[in-house]
Structure 1
């Protein structure tokens, strides 16, 4: 019976990450060739800090978008409660609240989503520029 053949599994990122020079204590030696990408690949504390910063920025954008949409959608029932004549109004036989819900909120969602995507991509682009900076 023969023993199963051993296979080494590695990635290109692993080889690149191990090539960074190290001090006697194991910490990477920062030189002119060391970049933030190395910190991210090595999963150092600095790399983790930058990753957390990116996540926080993305979360902040999502929270602002959600809050803006929630305020507008929440104010509609409040407006109809405070001004009941608006709730009874009809446009071409269709109740005004239905029209506002059908035609008013969809453009809001689309605009909020488009704004959110633009902001998220800007933050990611800035992060990539920071990582790729020599």
Structure 2
């Protein structure tokens, strides 16, 4: 009769040779790899650039109105159909432009995110 093999105490699974699988773009982004950080920073840079552009446009256009009223005193007392020109400009010109700019900003932001999703293969 042969003797049984000696007892072996198992404390963890044995290490097997792991083959490195190429990481997908989604894994790169959710992980902490350099490529994922580059993807995310490029997305954030594009969003920041869009935001700063829209803010600059808003400051230039809305900031121009008080400047015009301060530099050209005649515009302060000018009225059309009993309404001050400042109110007409705000109601008929500025607010529609703000709404259109907001719609444009939303679409441009969605386009940036869609392009990002296309690059990293989320779709």
TM-score of the aligned structures, taking structure 1 as reference length: 0.71
1:21 positional shift: 4.6
Q: Deviation string for 1:13-46 (max 9, x for gaps)?
A: xxxxxxx953xxxxxx53xxx4211211323121
**2:101 is aligned with 1:112:** yes
Gaps of 5+ in 2: 1-17
Aligned 1:38-117 pairs, distance under 5 A: 38-117=27-106
In the alignment, which residue of structure 1 is the partner of 2:120? 131
In the alignment, which residue of structure 2 is the partner of 1:36? 25
Could you say if the C-alpha distance between residues 58 and 21 of structure 1 is closer, same or farther in structure 2, counting changes exceeding 3 Å?
farther
Question: Is residue 54–residue 127 contact of structure 1 (8 Å, CA) maintained in 2?
Answer: yes
Structure showing greater Rg? 2
In the alignment, which residue of structure 2 is the partner of 1:9? none
Q: How many residues align?
A: 105
Gaps of 5+ in 1: 1-19, 23-28
Question: Is residue 80–residue 87 contact of structure 1 (8 Å, CA) maintained in 2?
Answer: yes
In 1, Cα distance between equivalents of 2:19 and 2:32: 15
RMSD: 1.8
